[in-house]
């Protein structure tokens, strides 16, 4: 292989690794938010259970006040009964007393139901507090692991940057300038040539150009995208060229995007079977707002602009976008809304 081309291939590999490390470093704050969102969700379950008991207690006090009010009326009715002069008036008072006693029995039934409900709610608090304690331990470990991984990533970044600086110094200046210019506009400065085609811009080459690439005696530039061409062999498969796109591993990331819809949107980014998908649900109603699919890419590249504005949120249930195609269920939507304090209200029409 041409020595300069070999150096550029190594340089492009280093640039790709550095870009990946930068992405990982930039994602650290979002990952911390995602981890803390789990803890917020666990705390919310405890808070909701306690709030339910407080509401039940207020209801019980109100009902007890109503019983006292009805008892006061019964006392007055009985005092009045000694002064009535006709049977009709006496029967009317007895009817009033009977109705008041019936109201009291109905209210007492509600109080008993409330007491039974409190027992269940207290059990829910106990379970939620136990889950919170367990989750807190796990989440603190996740945060510690993330911090350790971040430190390793930053060290790797520094090492790769030093290697890149040394390598760039060994590449002819005019060639390095061309590589930088094309990389800035195209994302990569080099492209694989296979089966007579530039595999980056997918343009067919003239036979003589492709033969020059195969001969590898001098540097050849794609006439369409200006990338420097590298011959990798006509028998290389797509999975060998890009194993990430052929891996079949499903990857998901949930986020809140303020720029979609009237009140923002909860968005799931998905990598699956060599394609990237974005699916957005209205942050207030849970209705589906948008769905986009980009083949042959990962969501970090296909939706890089959206990810830059995103705020990570946590969804405990997997494959939500597959189960609920047109609308998020209320339970999941409420949990997501709790993770975004100050969510904008939907404008009134």
**Please, which pLDDT band fits residue 260 given cuts at 50, 70 and 90?**
confident
On the question of pLDDT at 269 being above 50, the answer is: yes
pTM above 0.85, yes or no: no
Whether 278 and 310 have beta carbons less than 8 Å apart is answered as: no
Q: Would you give the end-to-end CA distance of the chain in angstroms?
A: 67
Residue 234 is predicted with a pLDDT of 62
On the question of pLDDT at 287 being above 90, the answer is: yes
Percent of the chain beyond pLDDT 70? 93
Whether 117 and 56 have beta carbons less than 8 Å apart is answered as: yes
On the question of pLDDT at 246 being above 60, the answer is: no
Whether 236 and 194 have beta carbons less than 8 Å apart is answered as: yes
Q: With the C-alpha atoms ordered 24, 26, 27, 33, is the resulting torsion angle positive or negative?
A: positive
Distance, CA of 245 to CA of 131 (rounded, Å): 38
Q: Is 145 exposed, middle or buried (0-12, 13-18, 19+ CB in 10 A)?
A: exposed
């Amino acid at each position: 292989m041409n020595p300069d081309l070999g150096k550029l291939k190594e340089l492009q590999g280093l640039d790709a690794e550095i870009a990946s490390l930068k992405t990982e470093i930039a994602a650290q704050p979002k990952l911390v938010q995602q981890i803390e969102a789990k803890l917020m969700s666990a705390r919310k379950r405890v808070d909701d259970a306690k709030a339910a008991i407080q509401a039940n207690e207020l209801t019980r006090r109100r009902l007890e006040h109503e019983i006292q009010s009805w008892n006061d009326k019964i006392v007055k009715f009985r005092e009045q009964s000694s002064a009535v002069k006709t049977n009709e008036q006496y029967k009317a008072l007895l009817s009033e007393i009977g109705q008041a006693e019936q109201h009291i029995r109905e209210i007492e039934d509600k109080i008993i139901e409330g007491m039974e409900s409190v027992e269940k709610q207290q059990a829910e608090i106990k379970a939620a507090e136990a889950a919170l304690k367990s989750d807190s331990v796990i989440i603190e470990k996740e945060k510690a692991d993330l911090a350790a991984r971040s430190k390793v990533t930053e060290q790797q970044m520094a090492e790769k940057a030093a290697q890149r600086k040394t390598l760039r110094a060994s590449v002819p200046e005019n060639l390095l300038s061309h590589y930088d210019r094309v990389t800035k506009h195209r994302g990569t400065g080099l492209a694989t040539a296979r089966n007579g085609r530039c595999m980056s811009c997918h343009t067919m080459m003239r036979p003589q150009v492709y033969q020059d690439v195969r001969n590898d005696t001098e540097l050849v530039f794609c006439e369409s995208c200006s990338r420097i061409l590298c011959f990798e062999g006509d028998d290389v498969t797509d999975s060998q060229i890009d194993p990430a796109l052929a891996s079949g591993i499903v990857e998901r990331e949930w986020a809140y995007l303020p720029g979609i819809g009237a009140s923002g949107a909860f968005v799931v980014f998905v990598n699956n079977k060599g394609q990237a998908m974005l699916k957005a649900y209205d942050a207030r109603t849970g209705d589906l707002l948008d769905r986009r699919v980009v083949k042959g890419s990962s969501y970090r590249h296909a939706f890089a602009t959206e990810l830059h504005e995103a705020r990570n949120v946590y969804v405990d249930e997997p494959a939500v976008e597959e189960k609920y195609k047109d609308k998020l269920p209320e339970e999941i939507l409420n949990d997501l809304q709790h993770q975004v304090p100050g969510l904008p209200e939907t404008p009134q029409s």
